[in-house]
Structure 1
Amino acid sequence: MKITILGSGNVATHLGKAFLKAGHRIQQVYSRNLANAQALALLLDATAVNSLEMIQTDADLYLLAVSDQAIGSIAAALPQSLRGIVVHCSGATSIESLAHFQQYGVIYPPQSLRKENDSAVSAIPFGVEGYPLATGNILLQLMQKIAPKSFSCNSQQRLALHVAAVFANNFTNSLFQISFELLQAQGLPFDLIHPIMLETVQKALQQEPRSVQTGPAQRGDKLTIEKHLQFISEMPNWVKIYQQLTEEISSKKDK
């Protein structure tokens, strides 16, 4: 399969390398920044371009591995007559943003990818959606060869997966940062809570998270909760987060 990659960032790099390893030909790499396009094209034995007018029209797959904000403008600038499949990689952007093409779809990785890290694409469960149905099947087969856990999903399911990933990854990491700053302010090392962080994730992977919930909110320990709130009272954002999560935990404990 001949593939054109639009984008030169994290997702573009990982998918480009995976497709090349699987025997596909990466035809072109596009980026507005020619140096970025050239850097990735060199890795993928492809041609670098920095103008959408230079995109060849004979590729089998056009991969829009760009920011959510850029998908619409790039898609609009591509010829509607493209016969190849046009896909984006966004969790939150509707598949309908590509509906003016003959074949289109989405391959969404619920994973934080960094191009400088050697992440295993093969372990990621890509959510795959395509139109028409035959195109969806082609995309699923394509992805399952490089990422066997890839699965078919609709736009609503993909959005749910994206929101769930934000809660599990982005928000959790923000809570880790709060913990880091709390300990740092008292001259304590962050690694003191590494064991409980690891245990929390391991339990959540083995059981429904609610069933292994612990802590003052789960116990209804109002005295401890008030002590905690008083301790962080000079950080109003932290107070709001603590109160909101305490309420969420409390609302689940009797269900």
Structure 2
Amino acid sequence: MDIVILGSGNVATHFAQNFHHQGHKIKQIFSQKKANAQALAFAVHADSITEISEMQRHADLYVIAVSDQAISSLIMDFPTDLSGIVVHCSGATEMDVLNKFKHYGVIYPPQSISKNEDSDFSQIPFCIEGNTPKVQATLLTLIHTIAPLSFACSSSQRLAIHVASVFANNFTNALFQISYELLQKHDLPFDLVRPIILETAKKVQTRIPKEVQTGPAVRNDKITIKKHLNFIREQDDWKQIYQLLSQEIVKRKS
């Protein structure tokens, strides 16, 4: 396929590299920052552009890999007579934001992707949606060349995956940071809790999280909970988080 990548950040970089490695032709890389466009374009043997007016009109696929907030403003300058499929990569943006085009869809990777870190696309179940059965089938065939676990899903299912990912990834990482700061405050290294983080993540690979829940809340150990809350009494935010999550665990137990 001939592909145009719009964006030069984390997701755009990995898409461009993976498609390139699988033999697809990356025709152009677009970025408003010339240096960024040139750097990624050089890596995948593509041309770099900084204006939508320079975009080729006869590519097979146009991948919009920019922030959710930038999608609508970016496509305002797109020609509407593109023969190829236009997709975005957002988990929370409706597919129909692209309905000005004849062929459109979504390729969403439910994964935290960083430009300078390897991401094994073969292990990521990409969420695929198309505005017609033919478009969806074409996108699935394409994405299976780089991410064989990919599957078709609706916009509502994609949003459910996005919200679930925020709970499972973003929120847990914020809790890791609280653990880090609490330990630092008492001259202890974060390495002390890394094993339990890994063990918990390992358990939920094969079991339902509720089944492996541990801790004072699931035991209804009110004495320990009170002691913990008193220990972090100077951190009101931490106390609220501790109480809310403890209440959630107790509710799930019943």
- State the 1:119 CA deviation: 1.5
**Alignment-derived partner of residue 58 in structure 2:** 58
CA deviation string 1:190-235 (max 9, x = no partner): 1111111111111111210001101111011111111111111111
Q: Give 2:191's aligned amino acid.
A: D
The residue aligned with 1:18 is 18
Match of 1:98 in 2: 98
Displacement after TM superposition at 1:133 (Å): 1.2
Give 1:81 deviation, angstroms.
1.0
Matches within 5 A, 1:47-126: 47-126=47-126
User: Which residue of 2 is the match for residue 143 of structure 1?
Assistant: 143
- 1:94·1:155 contact (CA, 8 Å) conserved in 2? yes
Q: 1: distance between equivalents of 2:29 and 2:213?
A: 47
Work out the CA distance in 2 between the residues paired with 1:166 and 1:244: 17
In the alignment, the residues of structure 1 paired with residue 67 and residue 44 of structure 2 have an alpha-carbon distance, to the nearest angstrom, of 21
User: Aligned residue for 2:160?
Assistant: 160
Q: Distance in 1 between matches of 2:190 and 2:183?
A: 6
Matched, 1:218 2:218: yes
Comparing both structures, which one devotes a greater share of its residues to helix? 1
Contact 1:86 1:101 in 2 (8 A): yes
Residue 183 of structure 1: how far off its partner (Å): 0.7
For 2:76 and 2:132, locate their aligned partners in 1 and report how far apart those are by CA, in whole Å. 20
Q: For the residues of structure 2 that align with 1:118 and 1:217, how far apart are their CA atoms?
A: 37
CA distance in structure 2 between the aligned counterparts of 1:178 and 1:127, rounded to whole angstroms: 32
- Find the aligned partners of 1:216 and 1:129 in 2 and give their Cα distance: 43
SS in 1 for 2:159: helix
**What one-letter code is carried by the residue in structure 2 that aligns with 1:72?**
S
- For residue 219 of structure 1, give the secondary structure of its aligned residue in structure 2: coil
The answer to whether 1:5 aligns with 2:28 is no
Provide the identity percentage.
Answer: 56
Question: Which stretches in structure 1 are left out of the alignment for 5+ residues?
Answer: none
RMSD: 0.7
- Which residue is equivalent to 1:187? 187
Tell me the equivalent position of 1:241.
241
The one-letter code sitting in structure 2 at the alignment partner of 1:205 is Q
Deviations 1:46-92 (A, max 9, x none): 00000111111011100000000010011121011111100000000
Using structure 2 for the length normalisation, give the TM-score.
0.99
The TM-score with structure 1 as length reference comes to 0.98
State the aligned residue count. 254
Find the aligned partners of 1:97 and 1:115 in 2 and give their Cα distance. Answer: 26
